[in-house]
Amino acid sequence: MERPVRVRFAPSPTGPLHIGGVRTALYNYLFARRHGGAMILRIEDTDSQRFVPGAEQYIMDSLRWCGIEIDEGVGVGGPHAPYRQSERRAIYLKYATELVEAGWAYYAFDTAEELDALRREAEARGEAFAYNYAVRGRLATSLALPAEEVRARIERGDQWVIRFRMPENEVVKMDDLIRGHVEVNTSTLDDKVLYKSADALPTYHLANIVDDHLMEISHVIRGEEWLPSLPLHYLLYRAFGWEASRPEFAHLPLLLKPTGGGKLSKRDGDKMGFPVFPLFWTSPTTGETAHGYREDGYLPQAFINMLALLGWNPGTEQELFTMQELVDSFSLDRVSKSGARFQPDKARWFNAQYLHRMNEQELAALYQPILRAHGIEVADEVAGKAAGIMKERAQLLTELWDLTSFFFVAPDTYEEKQARKYWKGQNPAILAELRGVLASIDDFSLENTERIVRAWIEERGYGMGQVMNTLRLALVGAGKGPGMYDVTAFIGREECLRRIDRLIATLQPGE
């Protein structure tokens, strides 16, 4: 019988979730949904030194914004609760000691100073120190010390750790759903710490394997940086006798810098002006902040679409996918082995595609908070209409204000270049005349105003460009904006007249 698909996203709350982490969550989610399985959120917070307050909430807020739903886990609950490893600490010691009893692990009593000294000695010989088969038999370990002494040290409260006893010179054969068959000789690996008495907590490796087993995880989908840990994880499954239910593994390719080489970092984002985090972040300890896609004006649908294609391809030319379409087409065998280069322009392109396809109602919902932040209180229809007129020129939601502010706020200054060009000669007089024409129009709809004004311009023999650009100076205050009749219809007759009066009253015409 096929085992039920159960995947987990298992972040450590050590800071804001990087977009690489969001992609890992997304692929887990797509895989779960594709196979009718469960998506679990487990918080791996056993490294108390790297714990950052607020990071867990940030992770949950990010997933929610992205539309990645959690079936079981922190914030949701479920049959394997608790899902926060710090709340599961009672579980792990038993498993660690079980491994010691079975000969798969041992106690080590080395102090930090002793380990430092060993490292320095090795360095002096031009070597790197490894805690492994070559040294464990002659250091302060339960493999070297008499049993009574080990017991005595533990009883008197000496600090100890439990280390995995990595076999010597054995080839571990592993299969990865993305990388294929991988073999590693254990002599290249060291004896990782599994448990620390100092804080009565397991390390990542032990907690991760124990929890994946207890939570009946079927597939581990995670970043490539964990591939070097895979031999240890395989051996832990063997040591516990859990090989039959060992999950399958899929290690996702790295997200690379826009320039190619190396892992995408916050510094690349700062340098090139794009966020590497989903949401804005303020560090609770240093106060340092980081840009987020949400605050920078990206739509979650576009963000997710862009991320899905960074490392996975559908095998077709299709680029735009709803979440449901992603679920329907996702498969791990179309995830690439090589790193995926992040392209900031492509991220903006995706956003523009989504923005341009939105109707006025959808735009209103997104634009209203931005308008309110600028002190503008208008009906949804008005907000949606303004955004709708200008959406084609925007890639990001945040660009809409600059593109539409003149709809809501009369200009109080005039762009110099534009003023110099048009606020001179006949134009002020013509604008005064146009004011009269506009004042006489009752049906101020776009079409009617355009018809009447055009006829008047033709009849008087004025230059169309001169008149319209002078009107633009009055209504917009600059050389930007949509067609003039979009503006007149939007702001209405009285406001048009007021803005014309203001220009005439405040700006001295040039020569």
The least CB distance from residue 10 to ligand GLU, in Å, is 4
The least CB distance from residue 338 to ligand GLU, in Å, is 20
Rule CB under 6 A: is residue 56 a binding residue for ligand GLU? no
Q: One symbol per residue from 90 to 119: x for binding ligand GLU (CB under 6 A), - otherwise; what is it?
A: ------------------------------
List the interface residues with ligand GLU, window 7-26 (CB under 6 A).
10-12
Cβ proximity to ligand GLU: between 10 and 150 the closer is 10
Q: Is the link from the previous residue into 231 a cis peptide, with omega within 30 of 0?
A: no
CB burial of residue 223 (10 Å; 0-12, 13-18, 19+) = middle
The least CB distance from residue 14 to ligand GLU, in Å, is 7
List the interface residues with ligand GLU, window 269-298 (CB under 6 A).
none
Cβ proximity to ligand GLU: between 56 and 399 the closer is 56
Determine contact, residues 242/215, Cβ cutoff 8 Å: no
**Alpha carbons 254 and 179: distance in angstroms, whole number:** 13
Cβ proximity to ligand GLU: between 208 and 351 the closer is 208
Own/partner contacts of 477-482, CB < 8 Å, gap of 24 or more, are 477/406, 477/410, 477/411, 477/412, 477/413, 477/414, 477/415, 478/406, 478/411, 478/414, 478/415, 478/418, 479/415, 479/417, 479/418, 480/403, 481/406, 482/389, 482/390
Q: Where are the alpha helices (DSSP H) in 197-343?
A: 204-214, 230-240, 266-272, 300-308, 323-329
Rule CB under 6 A: is residue 51 a binding residue for ligand GLU? no
Cβ proximity to ligand GLU: between 135 and 174 the closer is 174
Rule CB under 6 A: is residue 222 a binding residue for ligand GLU? yes
The least CB distance from residue 204 to ligand GLU, in Å, is 6
The least CB distance from residue 55 to ligand GLU, in Å, is 11
Cβ proximity to ligand GLU: between 12 and 142 the closer is 12
Count of residues in contact with ligand GLU, rule CB under 6 A? 8
Cβ proximity to ligand GLU: between 59 and 100 the closer is 59
The least CB distance from residue 53 to ligand GLU, in Å, is 17
Cβ proximity to ligand GLU: between 12 and 141 the closer is 12
Q: Which two tokens stand for residue 163?
A: 């280390």
Amino acid at 200: A
**Alpha carbons 269 and 259: distance in angstroms, whole number:** 12
Helix (H) or strand (E) holding 8: strand 6-9
CB burial of residue 183 (10 Å; 0-12, 13-18, 19+) = exposed
Give the pairing of strands 171-176 and 180-185: antiparallel
CB burial of residue 216 (10 Å; 0-12, 13-18, 19+) = middle
Residues contacting 489, CB < 8 A, separation 6+: 444, 445, 446, 449
DSSP states along 133-169: TTTGGGSSBTTTS-HHHHHHHHHTT---EEEE-PPSS
Query: Which range, of 6-14, 148-156, 445-453, 497-505, touches ligand GLU by CB under 6 A?
Result: 6-14
Determine contact, residues 504/456, Cβ cutoff 8 Å: no
**Alpha carbons 266 and 494: distance in angstroms, whole number:** 50
Answer positive or negative: Cα dihedral of 14, 15, 18, 24. Answer: positive
Give the pairing of strands 38-41 and 6-9: parallel
* 266 given a catalytic annotation: yes
Of 142, 186, 203, 208, the residue at the interface with ligand GLU (CB under 6 A) is 208
Query: Which range, of 4-12, 264-272, 482-490, 498-506, touches ligand GLU by CB under 6 A?
Result: 4-12
Cβ proximity to ligand GLU: between 44 and 191 the closer is 44
Q: How does DSSP classify residue 244?
A: G
The least CB distance from residue 239 to ligand GLU, in Å, is 17
Rule CB under 6 A: is residue 207 a binding residue for ligand GLU? no
Q: One symbol per residue from 456 to 475: x for binding ligand GLU (CB under 6 A), - otherwise; what is it?
A: --------------------
Q: One symbol per residue from 150 to 189: x for binding ligand GLU (CB under 6 A), - otherwise; what is it?
A: ----------------------------------------
Given 173, 192, 257, 266, the catalytic residue: 266
The least CB distance from residue 9 to ligand GLU, in Å, is 8
Cβ proximity to ligand GLU: between 208 and 218 the closer is 208
Rule CB under 6 A: is residue 226 a binding residue for ligand GLU? yes
List the interface residues with ligand GLU, window 308-347 (CB under 6 A).
none
List the interface residues with ligand GLU, window 21-50 (CB under 6 A).
44
The least CB distance from residue 213 to ligand GLU, in Å, is 13
Q: Which residues bind ligand GLU (CB under 6 A)?
A: 10-12, 44, 204, 208, 222, 226
- Residues labelled catalytic: 266
